[in-house]
Amino acid sequence: MRQKIVAGNWKMNNTLNEGLKLTTEIVNMVADEVRGDVKVILAPPFVLMPQVKNLIKNVDKIYLSAQNCNENVSGAFTGEVSASMISSIGATHVIIGHSERREYFKETNAQLAKKVDLALANNLTPIFCCGESLEIRESGNYETFICNQIKESLFHLSADEFSKVVIAYEPIWAIGTGKTASSQQAQEVHAALRKYVAGQYGDDIAESLSILYGGSCKPDNAKELFACPDVDGGLIGGASLKSRDFTDIVKSF
Ligand code: PGA
């Protein structure tokens, strides 16, 4: 069985008090309402991570993720945070290659490959994001584009390393726009990605890979998306900032 995952990417939202209130609400709702086989991941901004960790430390269903890490081990990179620092505070995951990082911070596939290596070397599960712009979607070449993102950032990994990675497909045209990919569009890309991974690493690894969908996923569309055979959960932005919406998405399986 593939791991079912719902991850909340808070992006640059929530002060300390807001983040602790949101976490406390999610902890209570998840404990009461969510079935045991879904992994819930919270990705707050770096400064909130230790205190969020403190609130979830006794909750076995909820895990902590960073939203990014630097591609260097350590050193003179003012303002940056390393994979080993993230791991040292008890986080288990790190989002790598979010489209906002690619677009605003010009992160490249080669740079993301280094981040993935450091995440794995520090026992963090990379949640590796891929996805096409509207222009590429309309050109029809989106599957080739997405597969190339995967190839250039992940296919240097050994089979053992690759089996620790989670992939998130996030069409850029659906992020924060309220315009979700239809379940057919999501399933088409997820199936193509799984086939592509099978070609490189074999059927067993491809079958056990969790592929999340992200992009305007909300309580009212999560059920249909999560029912697709190759959609194993979601990476949630806007709706992860409201405890009721986020928990309802988690409950959509
Ligand atoms: P959204 O963001 O749910 O607000 O569209 C998703 C993401 O960027 O991970």
- Other C-beta atoms closer than 10 Å to the C-beta of 37 total 10
Closest atom, ligand 1, to C-alpha of 239: 3
- pLDDT tens profile 129-176: 999 999 999 999 999 999 999 999 999 999 999 999 999 999 999 988
Instruction: Please list the residues that pair with 160 across neighbouring strands.
Output: none
Residue 27: predicted pLDDT: 97
Count of alpha carbons within 13 Å of 109, Cβ hemisphere only? 14
Looking at the structure of the chain, the number of domains it has is: 1
Domain that holds residue 126: 4-250
9 Cβ closer than 6 Å to some ligand 1 atom: yes
CATH code for the domain of 53: 3.20.20.70
- pLDDT tens profile 176-222: 887 888 999 999 999 999 999 999 999 999 999 999 999 999 999 99
Q: Which of 93, 98, 100, 190 does the annotation list as catalytic?
A: 98
Per-chain mean pLDDT for the chain? 97
43 Cβ closer than 6 Å to some ligand 1 atom: no
What is residue 41's three-state secondary structure?
Answer: strand
62 Cβ closer than 6 Å to some ligand 1 atom: no
What is residue 6's three-state secondary structure?
Answer: strand
Tell me if residue 98 is catalytic. Answer: yes
Distance 202 CA to ligand 1 centre (A): 30
**Among 117, 90, 231, CA closest to 169:** 231
State yes or no: pLDDT of 54 exceeds 90: yes
Tell me if residue 25 is catalytic. Answer: no
**Integer CA distances (angstroms), 197 to 184, 208, 209, in order:** 20, 11, 9
- pLDDT tens profile 78-130: 999 999 999 999 999 999 999 999 999 999 999 999 999 999 999 999 999 99
